[in-house]
């Protein structure tokens, strides 16, 4: 491909193992010798590489529908895009001859008006962005600072931001002994953990009040508060065992144990 179209300035790819500069150095040396820059999308976030993913999906669909893969690829190159120009016109400055009848005058080379093309592409991209943001409720996320605690959504673990990478909206996050690279979408700012202080008077929350006898192991840890606002109906004097008071959580919800059949 480089011998036909020349060496590009930037090569963008996913995070396949063949592109990992740590596991393999062949591609790194190849990029250095040819003089192009290699950038990769954020791990676990293929949406950032959506242009390539959509192109691969389109080519696969064309090949599946055609018995001859070369005719399918030729049809993809000759089909006009949303901007009104086909890929062959944008790349080679002319239409290509296909199995469909076409006038010979339409196959003559010509130059595409760059200003018209840029205006159409700008309107197309802006329209797609507006519709996507409106449908998904997109909002701009604040940048993260080094040392900030975050929650990694796809790993379901906490971590600390080390630094922002040169790639768009991508950060290095350390969790334990491992370092992850994630997109800003996968990182939720998490405040420092502070244990909730115990209330000075538990009777306001649970309906019970501590007594000085709590320090004695032989005494029950909690006794019923005489000043408790709760009132209970009078019980039959013939009953020897009184049911325990219901347990109330800190949020105020009463825990009622299920009624079981006593045989």
Q: Over the stretch 15-35, which tens digit does the pLDDT of each residue have? A: 888 887 777 788 888 989 999
What sign has the CA pseudo-torsion 17, 20, 25, 29? Answer: positive
Angle at 20 between CA 17 and CA 23, to 5 degrees: 85
- Residue 36: the pLDDT is 92
Report the pLDDT averaged over residues 94-107: 90
Q: Over the stretch 188-232, which tens digit does the pLDDT of each residue have? A: 998 764 433 334 443 333 333 334 444 444 434 434 444 545 555
Q: How confident is the model at residue 240 (pLDDT cuts 50, 70, 90)?
A: low
Find where tokens 């032989």 sit: 218
137-151: burial string, b at 16+ Cβ within 10 Å, e else: eeeeeeebeeebbbe
Report the pLDDT averaged over residues 28-48: 86
Mean pLDDT of the chain: 79
- Residue 18: the pLDDT is 82
Entry pTM? 0.53
User: What distances in angstroms separate CA 225 from CA 201, 202, 214, 256, one per listed residue?
Assistant: 12, 11, 13, 20
Q: How confident is the model at residue 236 (pLDDT cuts 50, 70, 90)?
A: low
Asked if pLDDT for residue 42 goes beyond 90, the answer is no
Q: Token digits for 18?
A: 């063949």
């Amino acid at each position: 491909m480089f011998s036909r179209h020349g060496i590009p300035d930037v090569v963008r790819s996913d995070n396949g193992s063949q592109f990992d500069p740590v596991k393999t150095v062949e591609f790194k040396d190849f990029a250095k010798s040819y003089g192009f820059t290699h950038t990769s999308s954020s791990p676990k976030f293929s949406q950032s590489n959506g242009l390539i993913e959509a192109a691969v999906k389109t080519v696969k669909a064309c090949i599946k529908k055609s018995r001859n893969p070369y005719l399918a690829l030729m049809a993809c190159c000759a089909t006009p895009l949303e901007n009104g120009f086909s890929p062959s016109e944008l790349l080679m400055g002319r239409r290509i001859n296909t199995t469909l009848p076409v006038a010979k005058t339409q196959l003559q080379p010509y130059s595409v008006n760059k200003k018209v093309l840029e205006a159409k592409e700008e309107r197309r991209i802006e329209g797609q962005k507006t519709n996507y943001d409106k449908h998904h409720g997109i909002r701009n996320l604040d940048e993260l600072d080094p040392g900030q605690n975050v929650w990694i959504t796809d790993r379901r673990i906490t971590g600390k931001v080390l630094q922002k990478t040169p790639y768009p909206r991508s950060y290095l996050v350390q969790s334990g002994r491992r370092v992850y690279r994630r997109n800003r979408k996968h990182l939720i700012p998490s405040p420092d953990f502070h244990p909730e202080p115990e209330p000075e008077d538990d009777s306001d929350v649970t309906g019970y009040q501590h007594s000085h006898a709590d320090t004695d192991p032989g005494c029950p840890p909690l006794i019923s508060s005489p000043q408790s606002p709760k009132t209970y109906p009078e019980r039959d004097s013939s009953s020897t065992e009184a049911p325990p008071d219901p347990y109330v959580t800190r949020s105020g919800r009463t825990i009622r144990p299920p009624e079981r059949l006593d045989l």
